[in-house]
Chains A and B, each alone.
Chain A
Amino acid sequence: MELKRKILQLIENDAKLSPRTIAVMLDEDEAKIAAIIEQMEADKVILGYNTVINWEKADGDGAMAMIDVKVTPEREFGFSKVAERICRFPEVRCVYLMSGTYDLSVMVCGETMKDIADFISHKLSTLEQVQSTVTHFMLKRYKQDNLIFEDPQQDKRLVVSP
């Protein structure tokens, strides 16, 4: 379990680390590391490998919004059924159950703000269990998944020092 946790900590920060490199870092056998990773993928402990992209730099436009959603929980299922339903929409990037004044926090992406507005008015708000939505459009991303987008902290060290 300890080894699994260490592997996960390493690839959570850098998914590009190869089993070979991880094996060296943890003093383990490469085949063993590869097998553990494969098993964790099969068990859905590892769900996938995404890339954090600064689309502004890649000339990509796009819009993103965080939507606070109040829903009516259902007998036997609580919030899960409606949450799972919301997850199915391809526009939806993240869905979290929250404590506090609303129930679900839903992150939605689209090409334009209008796409997002259409999604909310036509798809999300019309769900039977949804009572209300409050939409916050994302204006700028500063940090995501522990990565700072415009990090001024480049390596400022002298190239050689004693």
Chain B
Amino acid sequence: MSKMDRYISPTVKAIPPSGIRKFFDLVTQTKGVISLGVGEPDFVTPWHIREACFYSLEQGYTMYTSNSGLPELREEIAIYEKRKIGVEYKPADEILITVGVSEAVDIAMRALLEPGDEVLVPEPCFVSYAPGADLAFGKAVPVPTYDEDEYRLRPDILEKYITPKSKILVLAYPSNPTGGVMTQEDLAALVDIIIKNDLIVISDEIYSELTYVGQHTSIASFPGMKDRTIVMNGFSKAFAMTGWRIGYACGHPDIIAAMTKIHQYTIMCAPIMGQMAAIEALRHGEAEMRKMVDDYNYRRKIILSGLREIGCSCFEPRGAFYCFPSIAISGMNSEDFCEKLLFEEQVAVVPGNAFGNNGEGYIRCCYAASISNIEAAIEKMGRFISRHRKS
């Protein structure tokens, strides 16, 4: 233990290091890697959005905004959400602009949780929810989802994990890392359970535009759910704006006010240049975004077909830009598979267990990569699997 270690909060110490961080270090030490391990679009932000940011800077928009964010942006978000999920939010007090969805998740947990409150987190999932609960002195309760269910949250399984301390349910669909989606019917089956158990839903819909089969549905759109759902979304994935760090939360005025209280004392406001760019994205970005989504969809089909051809079983991911194939054919665990694949074939994919224990036996392959890189990676993975096929 280093001499300063004793000053570190036990809560922070108890949070395990990210499995992705360890793998990142390995990948950066390897040369000539084809990476399917990236969690962001391979497009840069469309030029008209970047240009709108330059213009705003030229016009002198370099100051703070209100804590809640620019009124024009909140108005555009209200229009967008009404159109996309059919739920009306008042720009004045039901929408908060945050620094990415990550901040929205963090402040929602801190606004809602008391020590010991439980947060139901369907896994495998994005890495932030459980640490977010821990940092707010709550307790993350992993709820397993399964390959055979295409990683949809099943009502019977959810019910098993609910206790009198359960307060928040995280729903993050389309899913990172699985690409799974929840259909309207899937969500409808959860509504009664959520209401009966008085749960608040954090609905992380950051990948909602990247839905390739059917329409995205938000849990907030069901009767009785708007007030108990915090819809979170942002610009990172749909508009290729990851580095701008602009997200938002929509919800009941009391919850948004509580979140805003934390936001104002920690962040103050999301950067104005990002907010100006986000306005442009919502007003004029639909066509470019559709092109990007079409491109992801083509690559989704190529990678899925390729993975199945080399013998990996994989359900059809209907959203986001990830495949989550089983590596049972190799007989290896996720970390061994990824490390050996990296060393032997210089292909980076992410171990499934980095996203929760029941991601073990799977890998996350991101298809936000060029078609030539996807095809080359599949060829290399095919060679690798042939060599390591479980006898």
Q: Does B42 contact A (CB under 8 A)?
A: yes
Does chain A have a CB within 8 A of B35? Answer: yes
Question: When the two chains form their complex, are residues A162 and B20 in contact, meaning their CB atoms are under 8 A apart?
Answer: yes
Contact at A160–B348, with CB atoms within 8 Å? Answer: yes
Say whether, besides A14-B371, A25-B298, A162 and B28 are in contact (CB < 8 Å). Answer: no
B33 touches A159 (CB 8 A): yes
Q: Does the CB pair B301–A159 fall under 8 Å?
A: no
Residues 340-391 of B at the A interface (beta carbon under 8 Å): 348, 350, 354, 371, 375
A97 an interface residue at 8 Å Cβ cutoff? Answer: no
| A158 engages B38 (CB within 8 Å) | yes
Closest to A10 in B: B298
Given contacts A17-B371, A21-B375, A162-B18, contact A157 B40 (CB under 8 A): yes
B126→A155 contact, CB < 8 A: no
Bound Cα distance from A10 to B126, whole angstroms: 33
In the bound complex, CA of A140 to CA of B302 (Å): 37
In the complex the two chains form, what is the Cα distance from A10 to B302 in whole Å?
Answer: 14
Which of A17, A21, A27, A161 lies in contact with B38, CB distance below 8 A? A161
Query: How distant is the Cα of A52 from the Cα of B56 in the complex, in angstroms?
Result: 36
Residue A153 lies at the interface, judged by CB distance under 8 Å to chain B: yes
Once the chains bind, are A21 and B302 in contact (CB under 8 Å)? yes
Residue from the list B39, B126, B301 in contact with A27, Cβ < 8 A: B301
Give the dominant DSSP class at A's interface.
loop
B191 at the interface (CB under 8 A from A): no
Q: Bound state CA distance, A160 and B127, in angstroms?
A: 13
Residues of A within 8 A of B23 (CB): 160
CB-CB nearest in chain A for B127: A162
CA distance A162 to B125 in the complex (A): 10
Q: Contact check, A25 vs B301: say whether CB atoms are below 8 A apart.
A: yes
Among A24, A153, A161, which residue has its beta carbon within 8 angstroms of that of B39?
Answer: A161
- What bracket does the count of chain B residues touching chain A fall in? 20 to 34
Q: B132-177: which residues lie under 8 A (CB-CB) from chain A?
A: 176
Q: Are A159 and B28 interface neighbours, CB within 8 A?
A: yes
Asked if B375 contacts A153 (CB within 8 A), the reply is no
Q: Contact mask B114-137 → A, CB, 8 Å, 1/0?
A: 000000000000111000000000
Known: A14-B371, A159-B27, A162-B127. A24 touches B38 (CB 8 A): no
Chain B contact residues: over half helix, strand or loop, or mixed?
mixed
Q: Write the chain A residue with the least CB distance to B306.
A: A24
CA distance A102 to B33 in the complex (A): 52
A161→B37 contact, CB < 8 A: yes
Instruction: Report A-chain residues with C-beta under 8 Å of the C-beta of B350.
Output: 160
Instruction: Return the chain B residue nearest A157 by Cβ.
Output: B38
CA distance A162 to B359 in the complex (A): 14
Distance in Å: Cβ of B236 to nearest Cβ of chain A: 11
A110 to chain B, nearest CB (A): 34
Within 8 A of B (CB), among A45-96: none
Q: Any chain A CB within 8 A of the CB of B66?
A: no
Residues of chain A contacted by B302 (CB below 8 angstroms): 21, 24-25
Q: How far is the CA of A24 from the CA of B20 in the complex (A)?
A: 31
Residues of A within 8 Å of B33, CB to CB, are 159
> Residues 140-162 of chain A: 1 if any B CB is under 8 Å from the residue's CB, otherwise 0?
00000000000001010111111
Confirm or deny: B24 has a beta carbon within 8 angstroms of a beta carbon on chain A. yes
Please report the C-alpha to C-alpha distance between residue A157 and residue B40 in the assembled complex, in whole angstroms: 8
Q: Please provide the chain A residues from 3 to 18 with a CB less than 8 Å away from any CB of chain B in the complex.
A: 10, 14, 17
Tell me how far the C-beta of B337 lies from the nearest C-beta in chain A, rounded to whole angstroms. Answer: 15
Contacts of A27 in B (CB 8 A): 301
Quick one: which of A157, A160, A161 has the most chain B CB within 10 A? A160
B44 on the A face (CB < 8 A): yes
Asked if residues B35 and A162 are in contact (CB atoms below 8 Å), the reply is no
* B residues less than 8 Å from A157 (CB atoms): 38, 40, 42
A155 proximity list for chain B (CB < 8 A):
42
Q: Give the residue name and chain of the B residue nearest to A25 (CB).
A: B298
- Would you call A160 and B37 a contact (CB within 8 A)? yes
Measured CA separation A17–B27 after assembly (Å): 29
Q: Among the listed A17, A21, A153, A161, which residue makes an inter-chain contact with B40, where contact means beta carbons less than 8 Å apart?
A: A161
Closest partner residue, chain B, to A20 (CB atom): B305
CA gap between A27 and B96 in the complex, in Å: 41
Minimum CB–CB distance from B348 to chain A (whole Å) comes to 6
Known A10-B298, A157-B42, A160-B348; further 7 A-B contacts with Cβ < 8 A: A14-B371, A24-B305, A159-B27, A159-B38, A160-B24, A161-B20, A162-B39
| A contact set with B: CB distance below 8 Å | 10, 14, 17, 21, 24-25, 27, 153, 155, 157-162
Please, could you name 7 A-B residue pairs with CB atoms under 8 Å apart, sorted by A?
A: A21-B371, A157-B42, A159-B27, A159-B37, A160-B35, A161-B39, A162-B354
